[in-house]
Structure 1
Amino acid sequence: MVFSSFGFGIFLSIQLLVLVIIEAVDLHFVCSNNRGNYTTGSVYQKNLDDFLSSLVTNESSNGYGLYNTSFGQDDDIIDKVYAIGLCRPDLIPDASLKSFKDSAYNLTRACPNQKEAIIWNEYCMVRYSNRSFHFELSPSNNQSTTRSLLSSDVDLFNSELEELIGVLKSQAAAGGLQKKFATESKRVMYSNNQSISGIVQCIPDLEEEECSFCLEEGLRQLQKCCYGMDSARFGNPSCNLRYDVYTTDDPAKYHEPRALSPPTPSANATKNSGGKKKSSTSAGTVIIIAMATVVSFLILIMSICIYLRVKYKRKRIEERAEEIKSAEALQFDFRSIRAATNNFSEANKLGRGGFGIVYRGILPDDKDIAVKRLSRDSAQGDLEFKTEVSLVARLQHRNLVRLLGFCLGKNEKILVYEFVPNGSLDQFIFGEVKRAHLDWDVRYKIIVGIARGLLYLHEDSRLKIIHRDLKASNILLDADMNPKVADFGMARLFDLDQSQGETRRVVGTYGYMAPEYVMRGQFSVKSDVFSFGVLVLEIVSGQKNSSFRNRGNVEDLLSYAWRNWRADTASNIIDPILSSGSRTEMMRCINIGLLCVQQNIADRPTMTSVILMLTGNSLSLPVPSQPAFFMGASDFSKAVELDQAQSSSSVQKSVNEASITELSPR
């Protein structure tokens, strides 16, 4: 056992050294096994060698850093080589070509005998394959410095970074077929002598929407991997972006790419022209030198491991102290909250949720807030409550209701949210008067906004959050009718019997809940996708799923939508008051809604795919299969009985804004 642990430690140490070496040369590559291997002397190797030989000139470049070429017979779908290189167009041509050549040379040696591979360095991306490719988002690569910003500046910095990349994204996406590239610097607000420099680039032949989506995905990946770092970059086969923070008296400079020389042969491998070289060192001396080298290596590795362990423990202590400090900064005084809500008066009551009552409040600075007074049966301690609130309060997205802080009084746990003036979505789409104010453009904006908020909760936030009670009453609308997902991220603050994938207590709103959640208590991001699909169909039709009426006949919305989709009469689903607006977008939304509510969990799209389908009008959509809970008219009475039985036993319906959510820190 001791020897095994020792050997495993040596293995990890060697892996660590390999990673350090790779980082030092600034190369990151992926060798794909999906396209198979080629053999030495094969047609594919000849075509690949021809590609490398062609790099003596820059004739394959479009003049803006793009190298796009192919070698082999057009009808040879197995051995034809398709190669592409994307280098920064602000490099001089010779430097761009040199970086491209060095990257291609290193890639063929990093991925020997493999027909598809991709490599990134600081200035170029190079990819080759035996298939043509256009718009692809994987594989991807991201990296950052180890230098962190001050924790108090991180949220402000990320906001400014998102604004800068947003401007550059628009500029690059709007570029023509020759160049989709943008770079700019801006001074940061929290410092007098620091600026952010950003660079974005797409493959020039991408559509504007494809380039924009690719760069958005890159920014999301950097915000996840490199939160708070002052320098980072991202790349995938279709686009790349990077940012750097620099002092204004020492601005960032992007130098000519360094040469990446091929490995030189080892001295021991060089043949002596006069035959075998006679050793001048005795065998005993060689053994002593070898043992001394091994011991020195092990001592070095042990020292590195001890240093890293001590550094990790110190970092965890500092992070814990920072979490406690952040939580204290978010705490409201109980007396001020009581005064803001007029002692929690009935006149200020906005509604009752499954875990407490919500009140409107006004702070002394005339700021409107929404105050949720949680039930008093929580078993969670005050310190844990503070820590989790501080984590959730860092979730910032334009399509999420923002948690401003918390309040602790005697036997009191209170959450303080931003106040959203237009109320909930259900008051508009299901109200006869307000529904007339929701034209198609507004409804479409609401659908896309909800999708972006849900994607942030699932993929892009620092916490992985599954909402589990997504419905129209949990979507709030601001003054400009922008949607904000409400009641997320608080379940563990007051509901401690949850686990990652299953729950003993199914809580939600029947009609929005996925079948695997209702029947087996299993939840995942796909159960949220199901709820989103129901919500999309409600927004398009203007009718509730739970009380849908079709010419006096009782029929659930999913069954009605599916039946009309199959009969090619999907236009019957559209709200009759939508006399104007894009019918194509309406039909796409019906298609997307039906894809989200499919019975098979694996067939439902992720929210990343949903966003791409909503914003990429040129993309063809899959054909949906039968939705969950689909039923014929003869089966409906049985379904009602099942609904009533579940409602009275295992399924607890949520009331108003109740939220049931799983937090999983990343």
Structure 2
Amino acid sequence: MGENHPVDFNNGSFFGWDIPTTSAAQFMKFEPDGHLRLYQWAGMDWREVSDLLRTEAGDCGYPMVCGRYGVCTNGQCGCPDAAKYQSSFFRQMDFRHPNLGCSPVTPISCDYAKDHILLELKSTYYFAFDSSLNENGTELEDCKNNCLSNCSCKAALFVHHQSMGVDACDIDTSQNNCSITITSPEFGFMDNGTSKGSCLLLNEVFSIINNEKYAVSVGDGSSLFIKVQSSYVEKPRRIKIILASSLGSLFAMLCIVGICFVVIRKRLKESNGTEVDFLDQVPGMPTRYSYETLKALTEDFSRKLGEGGFGCVYEGILENGTKIAVKCIDGFGQVKDSFLVEVKTIGSIHHVNLVKLIGYCSEKSHRLLVYEYMANGSLDTWIFGGKQNLPLPWHVRRKIILDIAKGLAYLYEDCSQKIIHFDVKPQNILLDPNFNAKVSDFGLSKLLEKDQSRIVTKMRGTPGYLAPEWLSNIITEQVDVYSFGIVIMEIICGRKNLDWSMTEENRHLLSLFKIKAAEEKLHEMVDPKSEDMLIHMEEVLDTMRIAAWCLQGNFSKRPSMSLVVKVLEGLVAAETNLDYDFTYSSVVSTFTGADPEQQVVDDATTPLLPSTLSGPR
């Protein structure tokens, strides 16, 4: 079973972890999800005060955080990247719940062991690795062959031995020499060309750690080799037939592809010319830049600010010294449509709480948007723990909430056309140097005439922020009000609406909101990192009730954004008769209103976007 290692509790430190000093009773619990949590008696119940393994394990260092074969990257789950291989070997168990893990497309069979191959996932790690294994070292090829020859082996983790710089200084007293052996300071091959390291064979493959985002890095010298089943087809007489037919088909396909390439290229040129002509005709359009100009202003796109769902954002400087953020949009189809929507939507509107579009580029295949530079980045980096040493005080959080409300109210009531944003979330709220908030990313928005109150459209937005009436496909600006309510709760609570790192009862923020409201313990949900919020608790609780008003399952009972602004400014009182079952919707069938002038049908095929997508930075 190995050696027994004593664990000491000394002066508030337990095995290197600091335990908060208190007179209240405490206990530690090793939970089924792999977390070692510290609980403290709070007078009425036990409250979690610390996740002791988080410093070492981060979001990913737990056995089933992403299920079997799931790859965990900074708390997000996915399957082994099939794009690197010629075919897909894994698929998600449930694409709506990526944390449930992945399964092999073709199950591994011992009857076809000769068809087993190993797929290499570089810069990956595994929670069960013990650095004391194979102290003498195992050759990389031996490690791989051992797994292939063992049918029960599902994967092999190989970690190259780490060099410590100057290994030794052997002094020869007779020659008065000091012989020094120097090796590489990184994990990887030694200077003498050896490939020895530690090898761990796995009979089961639980969650895999993307080592680039892992809390405790072990360098780039760790790789996981996953065993997969290649094709069962092995009959020699069929190979010749397939080979001959493939060569004939290949020649025909090359001809077809060549013809298609010429046709598509011609159509793209025509489409691009039409698109540019259209943008030039839009009144009040921002400056149109050439691609070479933006390339120079961003120093060849060398300073990346962030990465969103449709491309990367880079920092640049105009000739007058003004900083800008340049968003490069990648792709075609839906992405191209998003570019056009964003330019048309915010190109001609101006409001202090909407991000300003300075210019754009539509040249050949290049699609770029130029925004004003927002020094403090997006709101999510401030409220979800990215800047833990700088918790926002209550007056700043309240101002951000009011700024968002004013920006959305302008979109609905003060523009010449009503604009529904469809993707209100912290990633799309940007902060200037004075923490003034501005709504950004209008790639999914829709424009309605003033007399149109509803739109029939495909589902669009981000999971976790979608209003329940999306089930009916009859949509009003109240879907943005619902998303705004969730953003208020995330700002106040300092956490995501859905957090898989928490216990099951605390995982869903709105479910917890309903429970705490019934128990009259809403104060327990307030972000504990900000002492200032505890001082202004009554005002914080009033704002939480405004959030509950915006989250009403029946969209007709939600307030307008202009009314929300008045309530936040203290001009009118908030509704108090509220239903805390926020997921309930009274609309379950297609709208059959008598007045067709009051609704518009949108046939866009915009799919539901994953939560990782975000707007300009």
Q: TM-score, normalised by structure 2?
A: 0.46
Q: Which has the higher helix share?
A: 1
